[in-house]
Structure 1
Amino acid sequence: MSIAELQVYAVETADVTGGVCVVRCVGGVARAGQVYAVGELRAGLRRIERYGRTVESCEAGRMAKVHLTGAVVALLARGQVLTYVPPGGHALAEVEAWLATGPSLLEEPHPGPLRALATARMQDESLPDGMRLRWGRIALAAIDRAGRTEEQPYVRAYLLQRFGPGSPGDLDRDPAALCRDVLARIGMTPQEAAEQARAWRELPRPAIQLLRRAKNLIPCTAPARPHLAAADPLAVAVDTWAALRPRLP
């Protein structure tokens, strides 16, 4: 499973109709006629040139000059990655099959663009719920492969909020598992946080950042809280942190 990707090296010309860029193919095989995603915008790959000659394709690891259509070309900057979008969009089953093989990070599709793609599909309300859930699991897998595990609670909270708890054993939508994960990531007790929050402006920067991380993480427990028993110690801990949050920097 290869998803073609082009990384911008330089934008040579650009106007409202498109432009010419020097790029490096960093995944798959780029071919003339393909459509590429730049965030939510699209650019068409009209022509590829290598060493002054027009070619039909460009493989991973090679540089090329590409002629693109679309006003988005004027917004491109060095280092940006353009991801190929097949006519029917990226095939969900193909991406799932790729993830099941356990490839290394050096193989495509690269985790960063895959994470962005999967997150967008997960939030696309025009897709069936079952398909959005599958994209959510892909987003979590891509986040893990990209080493950005700090983003996992936010995706899991979104899935839980939009689709409710999963079946037994589905940790991606397990309310208790999400709360335990969030509390573990906070890494301090509410009492410790409350004590530090009293004079947080006097704290060293790393300590302030920890308190702010806690403040950002606490809302991830909100979709899970209604599914916890009132007397559950985990629910008590979640409520304590929620009450403390307004006092954090």
Structure 2
Amino acid sequence: MRWAKLSLQANQRLPGDGLWDPARAAQQNFMLRMWMIDQVGPDYEDQDWNPETLAADTVAALALTPDEARALADHWRDLAVEQIRELRRHKNLTSHLDRLVNHLQPSPVRDQLLAWTDTRQHLP
């Protein structure tokens, strides 16, 4: 657990002034946290290993709703490069959701993440 915490801290401190750096850091953070929850089990006392906190952090990182993303994805080849990048960013930031939803209690956040698991299949 301590090595995983150290890895989260190192990920936050990586230099990153590029356009994609915040999304990369968030995606790596989410994936490590999800891996630890899967492998070691959830820890509701520690926010890093709490599935409900990971769900809330994921929702907070997303700029689009599942419906908005799906509407854009339906004609993604006609979109500007920046919009396609935004869809890709959302796809990357939601890559852990198929496993996360299994650790969540029924709630509006879980419902939103379930919608994302369906939507991400349609993203470029």
With structure 1 as the length reference, what TM-score do the two structures score?
0.44
| 1:186 Cα offset (Å) | 2.1
Residue number in structure 2 paired with 1:142: 10
Deviation at 1:176, TM superposition (A): 1.2
SS in 2 for 1:229: coil
1:159 aligns with 2:27: no
> Where has structure 1 moved over 6 Å in runs of 4 or more?
none
Do the aligned residues in 2 keep the contact of 1:182 with 1:217 (CA within 8 Å)?
Answer: yes
Amino acid at match of 1:138: L
Aligned length in residues: 115
Q: Deviations over 1:100-149 (max 9, x none)?
A: xxxxxxxxxxxxxxxxxxxxxxxxxxxxxxxxx21100000111111463
**1:234–1:199 CA distance, 2 compared to 1 (3 A):** same
How far has the Cα of 1:224 moved from its partner?
2.3
Give the Cα separation in 2 of the matches to 1:244 and 1:189. Answer: 10
Task: Give the superposition deviation at 1:197.
Answer: 0.7
Unaligned runs of 5+ in 2: 16-20
- Please state how far the C-alpha of 1:204 moved relative to its aligned partner: 0.9
Partner of 1:196: 72
CA distance in 2, matches of 1:178, 1:193: 21
CA RMSD of aligned residues (A): 1.5
Note the C-alpha offset of 1:179.
Answer: 1.3
Note the C-alpha offset of 1:220. Answer: 1.7
What are structure 1's unaligned runs of at least 5 residues?
Answer: 1-132
* CA apart distance, 1:223: 3.0
Output aligned runs, 1:12-91, within 5 Å. Answer: none
- The residue number in structure 2 matching 1:239 is 114
CA distance in 1, matches of 2:112, 2:53: 14
Partners of 1:178 and 1:159 in 2: CA distance: 12
Is the 1:179–1:224 Cα contact (8 Å) retained in structure 2? yes
Structure 1 residues 196 and 243 mapped into 2: Cα distance closer, same or farther (>3 Å)?
same
- Deviation for aligned residue 1:242: 0.5
2:94 aligned partner? 218
Q: Which has the higher contact order (CA 8 A, sep 6+)?
A: 2
Shift of 1:155: 1.3
Letter in 2 for 1:141: Q
Q: Distance in 1 between matches of 2:120 and 2:86?
A: 13
SS in 2 for 1:196: helix
Alignment partner of 1:171 out of 47, 53, 77: 47
- Post-superposition offset of 1:183: 1.9
Q: Percentage identity across aligned positions?
A: 31
Instruction: Name whichever structure is richer in helix by fraction.
Output: 2
Aligned residue identity for 1:163: V
CA contact (8 A) 1:197 1:247 kept: yes
Q: Which amino acid is 1:244 matched to?
A: T
Q: Is the 8 A contact 1:182 1:220 kept in 2?
A: no
Larger radius of gyration: 1
Q: TM-score, normalised by structure 2?
A: 0.84
Corresponding residue number in structure 2 for 1:208: 84
What residue number does 1:68 align with?
none
Secondary structure of 2:64's aligned partner: coil
